[in-house]
Structure 1
């Protein structure tokens, strides 16, 4: 198998159709196929063979997309590094991945300079041109062309035969532990991702469709890429997140689809002029990676129209395994089944999803247990982490660490992360449940709930809240508001008002960082 063949096939069908748009750069399918052929040949010419690791460290740009396709064609393993990490973390990931080549941009050249020594990296390729660390991207593509590589010169393009269990991507994630680990996404996992992106009418795009990828394409936001290319659509990659530019891009590019995280939706909804843009081209806006409150979902439905859908998944499941469709949203918003706004959907495509107790036995519908997943999109484990792999992958099932309940009709409702559950006075309190109520308050823009030290109860519920712009929040009034919707033991015991909440590089609220403020220096920690 070779995933690059699908790009070559689409390029044969529609060579002049746009494949990638990123800032001023526009690539047709013929250009995407040609550039990726030449990059694959250049990497092979530098001695890289099937299974060798190639790292990237750059902000969103068209060349990152070309690189992904080239690595598939050459049978190499991609090690994407989050562009917001520091030199020490980058060095760790380069060593951990055993990368032999690093491709980086000018903005991260100094980080690369500090990180590369002591690693296995032998070549640093600069997307923006050559440096003292190595050649430029355009240079090695030109070299490959000059050497007669590629179909245009009559020589067969790079097409390395891969096995399903070969590593395609080392998907680095910190999860809720803060420790960087790599889920080993195989070529079989990535093929399953392609299948699920085109199997369902809810997720499929086709020729003429144009999907905005708003976050880092090296991680979750890049997961739809191969499905887009397989189907002949266009990937519109935002160089950086800016809510005004997102709306302008929808209007200018006549985008039909988009993938965002809830934090992005929040910033769009806060724009005074959001309704000044023509968003009528949108057919689907998928949100995921974190919960979004029912109140905010209704506001987004009102702005964008009946186009919302939600996905639930992670790096270990190679993207989404649960899906809440646009029709599900409509039923909830129009009052047919309002509880669905609290759901993350039902199993998607080939994923087998269960809710189990601590022994691995399925719990009854309505009872809280852990979400576990198996299927062709579930990775075999973590790179160089046998103990963590044994802990998280048991009897063929990946244990997500997410607590949930299942309704009799199959809809799954996330309750909390296991590590985010607050135990106060012997009672289990789910932070997500309290946050859901806080987001119903009209003056709350964003909120996070954590357990903080309490001598009497062990932990007490703390709400950390960002007020809406121009709103005045009364802490006691907010606690009383929660008491109207929650059992007494679940309401926040205290509220801290802050200007902003910390977010991790993927846009999720960083509860671990919030919790650390309150637990620092304590002798005993619950979590």
Structure 2
């Protein structure tokens, strides 16, 4: 059960269909892409000496070669470790070391960051730059006739998701997990027809990259914007050029599409679907998008541990909710996907009646087997076969799930997860910082922004600019706080834990908080 079989099938049956498109220029047909993947698979095994199950890291911005690396690694019976291109070099180094990756493919703009890591300096990882002489040598190898055989439960994708411990955890996604996700896409998310395409404006290291799979299964074109990212004007231009266009988008991206569409009145006739997820969608944005683009919205709820596959709110349910003014339905995340068994339970794991709030748990063939080399974290997260998501929600009598809160305190900014503990630990490395607590504050354009409450050490003087520069030396820029509040002490509850609810109340009042009584 090798995922590369999807590409092998498309390469044979749909040899001349466009597979990879940069902007409006076709860079590879499915026949060519299949051959390149077969060539790269052999080169990784025989030229570079990787063995079955070895890890191949990918630190690349969105480019057509991303797809070649994914399927080349799978064709050779290897696992991929896609890393967010926005990460700080120290974070990339951690992923390279923890995963034990032996090869890392990079785009030229990211090569310096990767080549400066200790994993490369120590000789653990060899860096291959896409398009370089080394890359061209690899693609001169003879192809493997067939994808190498792998077990269904062999790891295909090692997905690093930040955790509340301050260190990312690697969710091991198997070939079975991703085949199951692909099946659920067709059953619960969207149909893909001949000549359709997906535009990868969101990072291919995350949700958009996972949706490469169902589109390869149907030999649909993978369109990469020339910018390599998300620009609303560019997306609307691509809509004019490509029919049957789908895209995966964070809710903040949908908001920006709304704003641009209201100003420019673009032609969206070729738009087939906007699949959104990764954070809460404001009802106002959802209604605006429906009014602007029509019944083309689909919502999915998933996690790295159950990739893109927990629940879905179909385009038909969106239309139904809009037609009857049902904000409860529109504000839900829909019903369980075909292969997902979803419950809301109390702390002891007992299912709760409809309407009661508890933790969302899920099981099914799409759920990861566990975290990479972290048996304790696996045991804490997967209990009796159920993945405990850490999300709080309530299930309606009709099976629609509404999320209430994120018990892991994740901040979602621009569709990207930011975990407060990571930011707090970076700030605590500053010699003038005694205590710190980080929370998210809702903002229209990005979903949430990071706010840090800082208690300086006695006698120390520190300002926002100083801390901002410090944080940039330790974590990715997009994770840094946008605002700082300086306190004499953090509010604590009776157990000595920081009362984040009090911090949120202070922000809601938009006033500088007074220090709590001692």
TM-score (norm 2): 0.79
Aligned counterpart, 1:5:
5
Shift of 1:128: 3.4
Correspondences of 1:413-452 after superposition (within 5 Å): 413-420=402-409
Which residue number in structure 1 is paired with residue 28 of structure 2?
Answer: 27
Aligned residues: 440
Q: What is the CA–CA distance in structure 2 between the aligned matches of 1:229 and 1:220, rounded to whole Å?
A: 15
Matches within 5 A, 1:104-503: 104-115=106-117, 116-117=119-120, 121-130=124-133, 135=134, 137-142=135-140, 144=141, 149-150=142-143, 156-175=144-163, 178-200=166-188, 202-238=189-225, 239-271=228-260, 274-335=263-324, 337-420=326-409, 464=441, 466=443
Q: Is the 8 A contact 2:37 2:69 kept in 1?
A: yes
Deviations 1:103-131 (A, max 9, x none): 1111111111211335563421111314x
> How far apart, CA to CA, are the structure 2 residues paired with 1:346 and 1:319?
13
Distance 1:82 1:406 in 2: 33
The structure-2 alpha-carbon separation of the partners of 1:118 and 1:386, relative to structure 1 and needing over 3 Å to count, comes to farther
Deviating more after overlay: 308-317 vs 218-227:
218-227
1:20-58 Cα offsets, whole Å, 9 max, x none, are: 213345221011101111111110112112101111111
Change (3 A) 1:328 1:390: same
Give the direction of change, closer, same or farther, for the CA distance of 1:194–1:517 in structure 2 (3 Å limit).
farther
Quick one: structure 1 residues 466 and 165, their matched pair in 2 at CA, closer, same or farther if it must change by over 3 Å?
A: closer
Deviations 1:466-497 (A, max 9, x none): 478xxxxxxxxxxxxxxxxxxxxxxxxxxxxx
8 Å CA contact 2:107–2:129 kept in 1: the answer is: yes
Question: In the superposition, relative to structure 1, how do residues 274 and 520 fare at CA in structure 2: closer, same or farther (>3 Å)?
Answer: farther
CA contact (8 A) 2:115 2:127 kept: no
Question: 1:42: which partner in 2?
Answer: 43
Q: Distance in 2 between matches of 1:178 and 1:280?
A: 45
Structure 2 partner of 1:15: 15
**What does residue 434 of structure 2 align with?**
none
Does the aligned pair in 2 maintain the 1:58–1:104 contact within 8 Å?
A: yes
Q: Alignment partner of 1:270: what SS? A: helix
Provide the secondary structure at the position in 2 that maps to 1:34: helix
Give yes or no for contact 2:18–2:26 (8 Å, CA) kept in 1. no
The equivalent residue for 1:471 is none
Q: How big is each residue's C-alpha offset from its partner over 1:337-393, in whole Å with a ceiling of 9 and x where there is no partner?
A: 332111000001100000001001001111000000100000011112122111111
Report whether the alignment pairs 1:97 with 2:99. Answer: yes
1-structure distance, mates of 2:223, 2:488: 43
Q: Deviations over 1:116-172 (max 9, x none)?
A: 335563421111314xxxx2x223112x1xxxx13xxxxx52521111221111101
Question: Of 68, 71, 76, which residue of structure 1 is paired with 2:70?
Answer: 68
Structure 1 residue 254: Cα displacement: 2.5
Q: 1:304 to 1:107 in 2, by over 3 A?
A: same
Distance 1:167 1:253 in 2: 34
Larger RCO: Structure 1 or Structure 2 (Cα < 8 Å, ≥ 6 residues apart)? 2
Write the distance in 1 (CA, Å) between the matches of 2:275 and 2:103: 34
Match of 2:54 in 1: 52
- For 1:62 and 1:369, locate their aligned partners in 2 and report how far apart those are by CA, in whole Å: 42
User: Residue 235 of structure 1 aligns to a residue in which SS?
Assistant: strand
Displacement of 1:464 after TM fit? 4.1
Could you tell me how far 1:526 is from its partner in structure 2? 3.4
Structure 1 counterpart of 2:84, from 82, 90, 103: 82
Q: CA deviation at 1:206?
A: 2.6
Give the deviation of 1:283 after TM superposition: 2.2
Q: CA shift at 1:274, angstroms?
A: 4.9
Structure 1, unmatched stretches of 5+, are 151-155, 422-430, 433-447, 451-461, 469-501
- 1:328, CA displacement in angstroms? 0.8
Deviations 1:198-237 (A, max 9, x none): 234x423132111222211121111111111111211223
Deviates more, 1:175-184 or 1:88-97: 175-184
Change (3 A) 1:466 1:313: closer
1:307 deviation in Å? Answer: 0.9
1:171 & 1:293 partners in 2: Cα distance? 28
User: Counterpart in 2 of 1:525?
Assistant: 498
Cα 1:176–1:283, aligned 2, differ >3 Å: closer, same or farther? farther
- 1:493 is matched with none
Partner SS, residue 305 of structure 2: helix
Asked if 2 retains the 8 angstrom alpha-carbon contact of 1:259 and 1:287, the reply is yes
Residues 258/44 of structure 1: CA separation in 2 closer, same or farther (3 Å cut): same
